[in-house]
């Protein structure tokens, strides 16, 4: 199942197992990587926006300014603001502002095949009208973006807005190529008809008058910058193949042409490329981040007259690189930007491994600040959905404002604004699992950070509400015990299954006290006991229709009701489960208008879709000992080999209304 932006920007970034090499930019590359004129490289061709009203963020050589003062910023990204309902949009913008963000990067594109084929979001901006792309200015179109801009203005946030996507999420470049009947992804850059369509979109967007504020987008200082695209490359999501002829010589003229076109309409706003910062260093072979093979030369892009800053992104998890490599990536891009006398903006960065995210983010942001970076935006801030639950962490990079890492990022924002600022330690949450009846240990301070004074692990306090430092904490779930080196050992109570929680705080050697952080240990069920996967006691527990079909709801009795015309329904498990000792998956069928259910599991590292044998048609309730039962031994041999790694459970429901409960395995 594809989520919006599940890979690459949607995170489908190339994973390489190549050896990690720290990036070093040779002087010859810094001096000669572009054919831009000396005047352009010096940065004294500023662009018309620099003479604009002081409310606009402006560029002055290698700096950004606001009201004549240097402007450095920290912030975040969110992609769903443009289509989510106002509750979700406003929640994210509220939390962004409250947690120290001053800039939000969000999409300004949503392209669909046609007005009658526009997916499951109920929103689209651009569609095919039979002859050319047309624009949807209505309530289910650009009026949604009007609300985003107006609310950002109200919250004191500025926006960076990419105008198309390299990846197929929300249409993007491949939708233009599909409209044109093209062959290669890079037709987007080279086909004159497509380039004209893109310019039409840019002109429509920039000249649009916001229906909420009455201000034309091109005149609104809430918008800090336009980006030509999100992560442009020679290759996209795979719908169209890569043209072997596509290279840096393909993308650089496109960036030049389109940035010049944007400035011809809107001289007040900054313009960036929106690329990932890949380089084209002479002599480098085999490292796709530095050899130009993606068609990207970030330094050449930044040196162009009408590009105001160097764009770059950072995802070592997905690029086959180390976190230390990422630190060097930041330093090198700060240096490369100075060489072309432009600011540098780290438009996206993310770490998927939560066990190290907090210290890595501190190291990266410290490096960014120290090396003179202008602005950095983490991926991704999410918050509540309409039903009050948190928006799912689809790609593994989500930061919620309630998380300790959000404190670290707010500290970064404060440090950018106030040189010499220092802070108490930030303790981060720890999540681990253990087998039934088995103790487990973790150094809980390993992912905690401090500022100026080292952490004192002997001060881990497992009962912060009680005076003094408590090194043990007990509950019905078991006992937590802290050693002086910060290692906490959890011993489950006899027979306990489920989640055991403890809260701790820690001090640095200056005596400053951290925020509270949570230790969560999941004790797995006995291999021989039945295990409940979903009981719907607190809501839908993530259950939904694949591709948004039908509706799901729960009643006061904790039952899940599905109303459908026919489709798959289910959810990702709270954690990966091992079904290798299980033979059955069962659920109570409380009521039905008629169903012949089929079970599907997502298994293995590739989340392979595997189906068990269907259950015969029934119109009668089936609960307790008579519950609907799927025989897991009917899985194919290839699927059976992966049941030690179960990620999600889905059930096919025929058209009608069905109420279920107590999904379990035994």
| pLDDT tens digits along 516-531 | 999 999 998 888 788 9
- Point out the catalytic residue in the list 82, 231, 276, 294: 231
Interval 245-273: pLDDT, tens: 999 999 999 999 999 999 999 999 999 99
Instruction: Note whether 103 and 233 are same-domain residues.
Output: yes
**The tokens of 483 are what?**
């050693």
- Span 471-489, average pLDDT: 98
**The tokens of 199 are what?**
């310019």
- Span 90-104, average pLDDT: 98
Interval 135-163: pLDDT, tens: 999 999 999 999 999 999 999 999 999 99
Residue at 435 is within a domain? yes
- What's the whole-number average pLDDT of the chain? 92
CB atoms closer than 10 angstroms to residue 454 = 10
- Span 229-258, average pLDDT: 98
Instruction: Note whether 171 and 246 are same-domain residues.
Output: yes
With residue 383 as reference, give the H or E element that holds it. Answer: none
Q: For the residues of 531-587, what is the DSSP string, one character each?
A: EEEE--TTS-TT-EEGGG-SEEEE-TTS-EEEEEEEEEEEEEEEEEE--TT--EEEE
Residue at 414 is within a domain? no
**The tokens of 13 are what?**
């970034």
Q: Tell me: pLDDT of 11 over 90.
A: no
Phi-psi region of 119 (alpha: psi -120 to 50; beta: other; left: phi over 0): left
DSSP 243: P
Count of positions (residues) in the chain:
666
Order of strands, sheet of 498-508, starting from the edge strand that comes earlier in the sequence: 430-434, 517-523, 498-508, 455-461
Instruction: Note whether 205 and 58 are same-domain residues.
Output: yes
Active site (annotated) includes residue 348: yes
pLDDT of residue 21: 32
Instruction: Note whether 74 and 136 are same-domain residues.
Output: yes
The domain that holds 41 is classified in CATH as: 3.20.20.80
CA distance 620 to 35: 75
* Residue 40, beta-bridge partner list: none
Is residue 13 a contact partner of residue 231, using CB atoms and an 8 Å limit? no
Instruction: Note whether 106 and 251 are same-domain residues.
Output: yes
Is residue 77 a contact partner of residue 105, using CB atoms and an 8 Å limit? yes
Interval 433-474: pLDDT, tens: 999 999 999 999 999 999 999 999 999 999 999 999 999 999
User: Which residue among 458, 493, 523 closes a domain?
Assistant: 523
Torsion (CA) 188, 191, 194, 198 in degrees, nearest 10: 70
CA distance 472 to 490: 10
Dmax (CA) of the chain: 81
CA distance 95 to 380: 12
pLDDT of residue 528: 78
pLDDT of residue 277: 99
Cα dist. 132→60, 177, 179, 191 in Å? 40, 12, 8, 14
CA distance 179 to 306: 29
User: Which residue among 523, 539, 570 closes a domain?
Assistant: 523
CB atoms closer than 10 angstroms to residue 34 = 20
pLDDT of residue 483: 99
The domain that holds 651 is classified in CATH as: 2.60.120.260
With residue 662 as reference, give the H or E element that holds it. Answer: strand 646-665
Give CB contacts under 8 A, 24+ apart, made by 151-155. 151/89, 151/90, 151/93, 152/93, 152/104, 152/222, 153/213, 153/220, 153/222, 155/93, 155/94, 155/96, 155/97
Q: Tell me the pTM.
A: 0.79
Burial tier of 424 (Cβ tally within 10 Å: 0-12, 13-18, 19+):
buried
Q: For the residues of 133-189, what is the DSSP string, one character each?
A: EEE--STTTHHHHHHHHHHHHHHT-EEEEESSBSSSTTSHHHHHHHHHT-SBTTHHH
pLDDT of residue 364: 99
Instruction: Note whether 466 and 340 are same-domain residues.
Output: no
Residue at 642 is within a domain? yes
Interval 160-175: pLDDT, tens: 999 999 999 999 999 9
Query: Band of the pLDDT at 554, cuts 50, 70, 90?
Result: very high
- Span 564-585, average pLDDT: 94
- Point out the catalytic residue in the list 276, 348, 577, 645: 348
CA 617 to chain centre: 41
Q: Tell me: pLDDT of 40 over 80.
A: no
Residue at 425 is within a domain? no
Interval 421-436: pLDDT, tens: 999 999 999 999 999 9
Q: Pick the closest to residue 301 from 273, 281, 323 (CA basis).
A: 273
Interval 592-632: pLDDT, tens: 999 999 999 999 999 999 999 899 999 999 999 999 999 99
Higher pLDDT, 201 or 43: 201
Instruction: Note whether 269 and 133 are same-domain residues.
Output: yes
Structural domain count of the chain: 3
Instruction: Note whether 244 and 314 are same-domain residues.
Output: yes
Residue at 11 is within a domain? no
Sign of CA dihedral 149, 153, 156, 162: positive
CA distance 214 to 231: 31
Phi-psi region of 585 (alpha: psi -120 to 50; beta: other; left: phi over 0): beta
CA distance 577 to 106: 35
Interval 346-395: pLDDT, tens: 999 999 999 999 999 999 999 999 999 999 999 999 999 998 999 999 99
Residue at 356 is within a domain? yes
Q: Pick the closest to residue 365 from 388, 387, 349, 343 (CA basis).
A: 349
CA distance 148 to 155: 11
Structural domain containing residue 626: 531-665
Cis peptide before 380 (omega within 30 of 0): yes
Contacts of 326 (CB under 8 A, 6+ apart): 314, 316, 349, 360, 364
Residue at 230 is within a domain? yes
Sign of CA dihedral 315, 359, 448, 383: negative
CA distance 277 to 315: 11
Instruction: Note whether 222 and 335 are same-domain residues.
Output: yes
Is residue 71 a contact partner of residue 65, using CB atoms and an 8 Å limit? yes
Give CB contacts under 8 A, 24+ apart, made by 458-462. 458/484, 458/485, 458/486, 459/506, 459/507, 460/486, 460/488, 460/504, 460/505, 460/506, 461/504, 461/505, 461/506, 462/488, 462/502, 462/503, 462/504
CA distance 434 to 446: 19
Instruction: Note whether 138 and 94 are same-domain residues.
Output: yes
User: Which residue among 344, 379, 400 closes a domain?
Assistant: 400
Interval 48-72: pLDDT, tens: 333 333 499 999 999 999 999 999 9
Instruction: Note whether 110 and 217 are same-domain residues.
Output: yes
Residue at 318 is within a domain? yes
Say whether 446 sits in a helix, a strand or coil.
helix
Contacts of 365 (CB under 8 A, 6+ apart): 74, 376, 408, 409, 412, 415
pLDDT of residue 20: 30
**The tokens of 430 are what?**
């720890």
CA distance 170 to 176: 12
Instruction: Note whether 275 and 348 are same-domain residues.
Output: yes
Contacts of 159 (CB under 8 A, 6+ apart): 103, 104, 105, 106, 148, 149, 152, 222, 223, 224
pLDDT of residue 548: 78
CA distance 635 to 313: 42
Higher pLDDT, 448 or 497: 448
The domain that holds 510 is classified in CATH as: 2.60.40.10
Is residue 631 a contact partner of residue 613, using CB atoms and an 8 Å limit? yes
Q: What percent of the chain has pLDDT over 90?
A: 88
């Amino acid at each position: 199942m594809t989520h919006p932006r599940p890979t690459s920007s949607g995170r489908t970034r190339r994973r390489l197992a190549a050896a990690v090499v720290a990036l070093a930019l040779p002087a010859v590359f810094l001096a000669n990587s572009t054919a831009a004129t000396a005047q352009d490289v010096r940065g004294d061709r500023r662009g018309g926006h620099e003479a604009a009203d002081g409310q606009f963020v402006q560029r002055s050589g290698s700096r950004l300014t606001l009201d004549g003062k240097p402007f450095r910023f920290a912030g975040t990204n969110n992609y769903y603001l443009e289509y989510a309902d106002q509750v979700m949009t406003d929640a994210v913008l509220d939390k962004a502002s409250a947690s120290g963000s001053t800039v939000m990067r969000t999409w300004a594109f949503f392209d669909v095949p046609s007005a009658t084929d526009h997916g499951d979001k109920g929103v689209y901006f651009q569609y095919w009208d039979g002859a050319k792309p047309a624009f949807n200015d209505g309530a289910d179109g650009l009026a949604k973006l009007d609300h985003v801009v107006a609310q950002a203005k109200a919250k004191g946030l500025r926006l960076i807005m990419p105008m198309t996507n390299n990846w197929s999420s929300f249409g993007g470049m491949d939708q233009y190529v599909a409209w044109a009947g093209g062959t290669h992804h890079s037709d987007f850059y080279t086909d004159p008809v497509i380039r004209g369509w893109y310019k039409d979109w840019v002109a429509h967007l920039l000249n649009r008058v916001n229906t909420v504020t009455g201000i034309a987008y091109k005149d609104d200082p809430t918008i800090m910058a336009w980006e030509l695209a999100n992560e442009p490359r020679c290759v996209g999501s795979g719908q169209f193949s890569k043209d072997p002829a596509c290279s840096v010589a393909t993308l650089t003229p496109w960036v030049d042409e389109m940035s010049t076109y944007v400035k011809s309409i809107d001289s007040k706003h900054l313009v960036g490329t929106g690329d990932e910062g890949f380089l084209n260093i002479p002599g480098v072979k085999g490292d796709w981040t530095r050899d130009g093979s993606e068609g990207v030369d970030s330094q050449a892009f930044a040196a162009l007259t009408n590009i105001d800053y160097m764009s770059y992104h950072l995802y070592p998890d997905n690029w086959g690189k180390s976190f230390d490599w990422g630190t060097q990536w930041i330093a090198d891009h700060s240096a490369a930007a100075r060489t072309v006398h432009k600011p540098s903006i780290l438009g996206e960065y993310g770490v998927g491994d939560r066990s190290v995210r907090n210290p890595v983010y501190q190291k990266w942001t410290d490096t960014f600040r120290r090396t003179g970076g202008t602005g950095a935006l983490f991926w991704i801030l999410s918050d509540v959905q309409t039903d009050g639950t948190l928006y799912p962490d689809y790609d593994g990079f989500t930061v919620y404002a309630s998380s300790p890492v959000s404190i670290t990022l707010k500290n970064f924002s404060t440090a950018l604004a106030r040189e010499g600022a220092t802070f108490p330690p930030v303790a981060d949450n720890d999540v681990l699992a253990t087998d039934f009846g088995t103790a487990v240990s973790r150094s809980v301070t390993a992912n905690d950070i401090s500022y100026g004074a080292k952490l004192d692990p002997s001060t881990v306090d497992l009962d912060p509400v009680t005076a003094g430092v408590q090194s043990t904490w007990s509950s019905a779930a078991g006992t937590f015990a802290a050693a002086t080196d910060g290692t906490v050992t959890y011993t489950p109570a006899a027979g306990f299954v489920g989640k055991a929680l403890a809260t701790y705080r820690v001090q640095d050697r200056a005596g400053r006290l951290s925020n509270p952080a949570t230790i969560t240990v999941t004790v797995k069920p006995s291999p021989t006991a039945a295990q409940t996967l979903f009981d719907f006691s607190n809501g839908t527990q993530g259950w939904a229709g694949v591709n948004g079909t039908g509706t799901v709801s729960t009643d006061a009795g904790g039952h899940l009701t599905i109303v459908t015309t026919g489709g798959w329904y289910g959810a990702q498990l709270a954690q990966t489960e091992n079904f290798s000792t299980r033979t059955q998956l069962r659920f109570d069928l409380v009521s039905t208008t008629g169903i012949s259910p089929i079970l599907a599991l997502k298994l293995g590292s590739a989340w392979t879709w595997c189906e068990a044998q269907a259950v015969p048609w029934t119109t009668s309730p089936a609960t307790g000992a008579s519950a609907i039962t799927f025989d897991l031994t009917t899985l194919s041999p290839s699927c059976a080999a992966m049941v030690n790694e179960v990620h999600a459970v889905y059930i096919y429901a025929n058209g009608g209304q069905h109420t279920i409960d107590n999904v379990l395995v035994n």
